[in-house]
Structure 1
Amino acid sequence: MPTAITVALAAGLLTATVPAAHAAAGADLPFTSVEAESATTTGAKIGPDYTQGTLASEASGRQAVRLTSGRRVEFTAPRAANALNVAYSVPDGQTGSLNVYVNGTKLAKTISVTSKYSYVDTGWIPGAKTHHFYDNARLLLGQNIQAGDKVALEAANAQVTVDVADFEQVAGAASQPAGSVSVTSKGADPTGQGDSTQAFRDAIASAQGGVVWIPPGEYKLTSSLSGVQNVTLQGAGSWHSVVRTSRFIDQSSSSGGVHIKDFAVIGEVTERVDSNPDNFVNGSLGPNSSVSGMWLQHLKVGLWLMGNNDNLVVENNRFLDMTADGLNLNGNARGVKVRHNFLRNQGDDALAMWSLYAPDTNSSFENNTITQPNLANGIAIYGGTDITVKDNLISDTNALGSGIAISNQKFLDPFHPLSGTITVDGNTLVRTGAMNPNWNHPMGALRVDSYDSAIEAQVKITNTTITDSPYSAFEFVSGGGRGYAAKNITVDGATVRNTGTVVVQAEAQGAATFRNVTATGVGAAGVYNCPYPANSGTFTLTDGGGNSGWSSTWSDCSTWPQPGQGNPDPDPDRNLAKGRSATATGSQDVYTPGKAVDGDANTYWESSNNAFPQSLTVDLGSREAVRRLVLKLPPSSAWGARTQTITVLGSTDGSNYTTVVGATGYRFDPATGNTATVALPAGTDLRYLRLSVSANTGWPAGQFSEVEAYLTS
């Protein structure tokens, strides 16, 4: 029988129903997170928003709190704690600080905030925009607080968007193990001023077969370590022993037996340069090694692992603010276990296995908590043999990713496609899946992708919980557009709640069997079954029994369902623009293009200010004989009357636009509903509707709360 459990999320609390025999998804974490939007604030809440490139879309829970100078957010401590970590964002190019208050008393300590490690650009990745808006900063409070105490953060001298606060009871510094070699005995400087690189090397050489001790303090390394084998590197705790370097270990091979534990490695990586080994570990630790209790931050990648890493265990670590992957098993990983780690704000896949040169084999990602990978997937398996993805908790993926991707995308050769049995079991996915800007339609929360070759492995997806996916729950696609089959797939036991469009998004030939998959709150239809290319074959869904709540099928393969849209309606009075994809030349803050087609006249799009002309473009999904537009501003009397000068343009291909109605002044007056109607000439045929605003007497920007398009005159 199922049982209800409460799973601690970086994005709040989720009550999920899972089989009683199954462990709770996610990592055992030493802290409890509280969302800023659930706290008391004198600032302004932003979001929710799923639009690529906005602060709210990258926030956990898709919401956060913006503080101008002097404004604050006050958290109620959920547990006893003496330390705080804060995820935040400040405008590009700015720095500042947060004042900290405990039960109304201001602390002498402040939290420094900076944009230095944010606003990453990866122009060589198709579809990427500036991303990675958030950063993390931590503080030992110097006192113990109890559950129920009030902890306030106040913007001191910069605008700060606060996303989430982690409350933690940090243990005191551990003592030096008997017989260990301290790096300070070899001349390391615990003040962080001197260069401790040679001292670390000398300690490692002296401690072969034993322990290198890193006492409390900060240590600066100016170049990477190599030749690391048969040794334990141990600190006094990740809040006490800190190594400052962007390249800790860089070696292509090792005899193994390397154990790294209980300290922090914090780098200075501010951009992603793929040719640079700006990683905590680059290459190999060798067989039978381990990494545990580490705090890894401001690096390109946490662990980029190549060569022999057989039986490596990576557990109980924190990966924060990488500009690329958190961890990538880059071929030749056998028997590797990655478990009970916390990953926030990775700039690519949070956890990945990529079977380049040799297959990753018999390796697993288990009980990890992943939040806010802001470019790609939460977990990605690119090829490999007998791989397990189990009991992970993944939330808030963005732009180019799903919560979990099981894929034959090779990137480079020689690549080893999926083979054997791929086990995807007991995972919980929250607000995962995203609008792919390259495909102009979404990726599902859990994606099986025959990108470069057919799926020949047995893919077994069991005991899955998918909640609040903005688009679809399960997607089967051949992302390279060549129509390879996604087959040998079984989905057995899944709970889908509040999926924005469909439960199953089938876009490749192939087959899958579904058993005991229940859905509630389906936004459009149960199934979208439209393999691409159109003549590439069919996708067969076999009903294995026990399914409910998703029996309907999207009826029109020429259009992609939008969140909450429902099946196409032959009613000519239907608003063709509602729920459709909208883009703009610019937007101000949270007033993003999608607000103009969401069916809510109280939300609105506002263009970049003081930069006319600005335009909003709506993709109606198919070519339509549009005869009438209804343009709206919020009906509130607080909106003063204004006239916007608007040119209406149309296109059938999204590239070549013609003028449908020339520049005309339209009056928006709250006394008459703040609505303007535009008649289009008979014979107007368009799929893409563009409104170009060249003037506005009420505000220096283009503004629409709703753009409606109708077939009737």
Structure 2
Amino acid sequence: MESRRRSAVVAMAAALAAGAAVLPGPVASATPAPVVTRAALDPALVAGRGAQVPFLEQEAENARTTGTVIGPDRTAYTLPSEASGRTAVRLTAGQYVEFTLPAAANAITVRYSIPDAPRGGGIRAPLAVSAGGERKTMTLTSEYAWLYNQYPFSNDPQADLLHPDWWITECACVPADTTPAPVITKPFRPTKFYDEQRLKLGRTHKAGTVVRLTMPAGSGAAWTVIDLMDSELVGKPRIVGWAANVLLFGADPTGRRDSAAAFDRAIAFAKRHRLTVYVPPGVFQVNRHIIVDKVTIAGAGNWHTTIKGREVALDKPAPDGSVHTGVGFYGKPAAEGGSRDVHLSGFAIEGDVRERIDTDQVNGIGGALSDSTITGLHIRHTKVGMWFDGPMSNTRISDTIIVDQIADAVNFHRGVTGSSVTNTFVRNTGDDGLAMWAMSEQNSGNTFSRNTVQSPTLANGIAVYGGEDITVAGNLVADPVREGSGLHAGARFGALPFQGTLRFTDNTTARAGTFELNWRIGLGAIWLYALDRDIAADIRATGNHFLDNGYNAIMMVSEWAVKDLYSITGVHFKDTRVDGAGTSVLSARVAGSATFENVDARNVGAVGANNCGSFGFGPAGSEFTVVDRGGNDGWLQPWMLPNTITCDDRPPVVVPPAPSPW
């Protein structure tokens, strides 16, 4: 562990030497047939779940390469652990990876990692791209990657502990209370290794064309890791003729001049004349929030229209605590009545956020929006893709891509009702992918459906903190890295109680059930956590598939300090499939109960139900009751019922085989 933290480059070497299997790259040979995946899985395993996207995903480890395959590895702070499918390809100068296009395409997206600068802040390096005789150069950067240390993290690889009074699992101590003080090898806890870059090709290439990505000699980077490539056939720009075109109000499509004031003028004119604001193809520089209310803004498509801005330090902190501003479209604050009837579509938002400052409002979309729609956007390099502070209602987010965020992709933060996120693709967030957080005002009647969330580097794929009548359905979640699960319901962070019915329906998780670094135990692919209060709502988890779980499929737990205070009840699991669990199907570390019906499992590493209850270990059995409603195959035995203590605090892990058709 310590050897991984000496420097950015040494961190990579240690990931290869200590935490990841390393396989030699194959000798170049005949071009293989393309292997198309979804979240590094056979698409047949996740049919009908997750977002339907316009691109096709190919993992580098399935492609032809002269580089080195790294992984698989699920150990936090290593490059493979943050890769899609926990495996990637490492290139050095002159090495390449080749992808065969599975369908006609004129654009690609490459997910990659390159080293940090020795003192942080990132570097830039070229990647040569060739396709069917066409040659281009993609400029890679690590300026938005590589965080270190404790939450909320540092960009400085040599930073001292941000919280010396916090428990440090590596030394099993609180450094401020430890004599002598432990030596924490720097850089401490490197993370957030990956970024992605989009590139339009010069023409449309037919299926079967080979796209070669080469790390050129003299690139300036010691290595380049390629995780995957997405290929896409991008259509022509959308044209809106009868509209308030921002060019007519002084906007600069070259991105050289700031266009914020031009956007304001176009919006004001459009509202007076009941027109759409049209943003044509181009790159438009905007370095602050654009306030939107009762307006429609349409771009030419998110590959054609980009609204891009620098992060700007404020002369003095704003009333909300922000010390920076940046590009973003914001509804009016709820305290001012919020905004409504806002419709945003068809453009990209590209921010410049390189550090996590929780008080900063540097999100792609923000404020309070009611009766609004957001569709067809591409958002990257902001703090949170969309953060909403209600009360607000009836906002629909759909068909959007949110990647490379410092924190969440979407957060319904307090007082959001009757709203939804649908058919949205999320990858590489620095916190929860999709979250509902009922802090101080209840969230109610919201839905997250048919979304894909991949590789959140911290926390959960989809998380619900309090709320009433919430639905999470038809989603695909893969590869959470640390301190989180695929699906999470938490009575924590000061959230209001769960009320009504919370439904997790027909979701699939892959390679979830991670290792919790502070507790030093495995979590579940779905994780219910009673920290601040009881969880006593009607929770129905039906039709879910939990694939290739590192530890448990299902975990219900309370914090040790409050284990005798809070319980979890009213939970019902039905029509569930568990294909691979490193330890157990169910890990119960809390008082309470749950029912199980038609929960089928295979490839379970340890006891099917690891029932610790609240660790009272009394003669009456566990404080947690398992109710068998029949049809539970492959894990639940009669002798475990209703509350037999089967507790193994840290059972040995048996790595499950890859998931396969049921």
TM-score by length of 1: 0.74
Residues 80-95 of structure 1 mapped to structure 2, 5 A cutoff: 80-93=104-117, 94-95=123-124
Query: What is the aligned partner in structure 2 of residue 667 from structure 1?
Result: none
Could you tell me which of 456, 472, 497 is aligned with 1:417? 497
* Whole-Å separation in 2 of the counterparts to 1:541 and 1:7: 40
Which amino acid is 2:652 matched to? Q
Query: What is residue 440 of structure 2 aligned with on the other side?
Result: 357
> Does the CA-based 8 Å contact 2:327-2:350 persist in structure 1?
no
1:556 Cα deviation from its structure 2 partner: 6.2
Q: 1:193 is paired with a residue of what secondary structure? A: coil
Pairing 1:428-577 to 2, within 5 Å after superposition = 428-479=508-559, 481-483=561-563, 484-534=566-616, 538-551=623-636, 557=647, 559-564=649-654
CA 1:47–1:454: 2 relative to 1, 3 Å: same
Q: What residue number does 1:314 align with?
A: 397
Amino acid at match of 2:128: N
Which of 210, 217, 226 is residue 282 of structure 2 equivalent to? Answer: 217
Structure 2: distance between partners of 1:175 and 1:335 = 32
Amino acid paired to 1:361: S
Residue deviations 1:286-336, cap 9 Å, x none? x11011000000010011101233010000000010000000000111100
Tell me the residue number matched to 1:379.
462
1:196: which partner in 2? 259
Return the offset for 1:511: 0.4
Asked if 1:336 is matched to 2:401, the reply is no
Instruction: Give the structure 2 partner of residue 137 of structure 1.
Output: 197
State the 1:563 CA deviation. Answer: 1.3
Amino acid at match of 2:428: N
- Give the CA deviation at 1:202: 0.7
CA contact (8 A) 2:590 2:613 kept: yes
Amino acid at match of 1:523: G
Which runs of structure 2 are paired with 1:16-415 in the superposition (5 Å)?
A: 16=45, 24-93=48-117, 94-103=123-132, 105-107=133-135, 109-121=136-148, 123-124=150-151, 129-156=189-216, 157=219, 158=221, 159-178=223-242, 180-208=243-271, 209-226=274-291, 228-245=292-309, 246-250=326-330, 251-253=332-334, 254-285=338-369, 287-409=370-492, 411-412=493-494, 415=495
Aligned-residue CA RMSD in angstroms? 2.0
* Gap change, CA 1:485 and 1:215, over 3 Å in 2: same
Instruction: State the 1:148 CA deviation.
Output: 2.0
Q: In the TM superposition, what is the alpha-carbon distance from 1:275 to its structure 2 partner? A: 1.2
Alpha-carbon distance change, 225 to 533 in structure 1, aligned in 2, over 3 angstroms: farther
- Paired letter, 2:398: E
Letter in 1 for 2:409: G
Aligned-pair CA distance for 1:481: 3.8
User: 8 Å contact 2:36–2:57 — kept in the other structure?
Assistant: no
1:451 and 1:7 map into 2 onto residues whose CA distance is 41
Deviation digits for residues 428-451 of structure 1, max 9, x if unmatched?
Answer: 000012111111111110011112
What's the secondary structure of 1:277's corresponding residue? coil
Deviations 1:359-409 (A, max 9, x none): 110000000011000111000000000000000000001111100001111
Q: Please say if residues 134 and 202 of structure 2, whose CA atoms lie closer than 8 Å, have aligned partners that are also in contact.
A: no
Residue identity in the other structure for 1:493: D
What is aligned with 2:507? Answer: 427
Does 2:42 match 1:13? yes
Supply the distance in 2 between the matched residues of 1:42 and 1:505 (Cα, whole angstroms): 43
Shift of 1:96: 0.7
For residue 160 of structure 1, report the CA deviation from its aligned partner: 0.8
Paired residue type of 1:42: T
- Following superposition, the deviation at residue 130 of structure 1 comes to 2.9
Relative contact order (alpha carbons < 8 A, sep ≥ 6): 1 or 2 greater? 2
- Say whether the 8 Å CA contact 1:398–1:433 is kept in structure 2: no
Tell me the CA shift for residue 551 of structure 1.
2.8
For 1:205, what is the secondary structure of its paired residue? Answer: helix
CA 1:565 to 1:203, structure 2 compared with 1: closer, same or farther past 3 Å? closer
Separation in structure 1 between the aligned mates of residue 504 and residue 37 of structure 2, nearest angstrom: 21
Q: Is the 8 A contact 2:617 2:645 kept in 1?
A: no
Counterpart CA distance in 1 for 2:597 and 2:214 is 51
Gap change, CA 1:281 and 1:480, over 3 Å in 2: farther
2: CA distance between counterparts of 1:122 and 1:263? 35
State TM-score, norm by structure 2: 0.80
Percent of paired sites with the same residue: 38
Residue in structure 2 matched with residue 569 of structure 1 by the alignment: none
Q: Kindly state the Cα deviation for residue 85 of structure 1 after the two structures are TM-superposed.
A: 0.2
Residue correspondence of structure 1 range 628-647 to structure 2 within 5 A:
none
The unaligned stretches of length 5 or more in structure 2 are: 1-34, 118-122, 153-165, 169-187, 310-325, 657-662
1:546 maps to amino acid: G
Corresponding residue SS for 2:267? helix
* Distance (whole Å) between structure 2 residues aligned to residue 273 and residue 437 of structure 1: 23
Displacement of 1:89: 0.2
CA distance in 1, matches of 2:460, 2:556: 15
Q: Provide the C-alpha distance between the structure 1 equivalents of 2:234 and 2:561, rounded to a whole number of angstroms.
A: 50
Question: 1:60 is aligned with what amino acid?
Answer: S
Q: Which residue does 1:709 correspond to in 2?
A: none
Q: CA deviation at 1:191?
A: 0.4
Structure 1 gap segments, 5+ residues each: 1-5, 18-22, 567-713
Aligned amino acid, residue 485 of structure 1: S
Which residue of the partner structure matches residue 20 of structure 2?
none
Q: Using the alignment, how far apart are the partners of 2:468 and 2:636 within structure 1?
A: 34
Contact 2:457-2:482 within 8 A present in 1 as well: yes
Deviations 1:481-528 (A, max 9, x none): 412111100000111111111000111111001010111111112111
Equivalent-residue separation in structure 2 for 1:521 and 1:146 (angstroms): 41
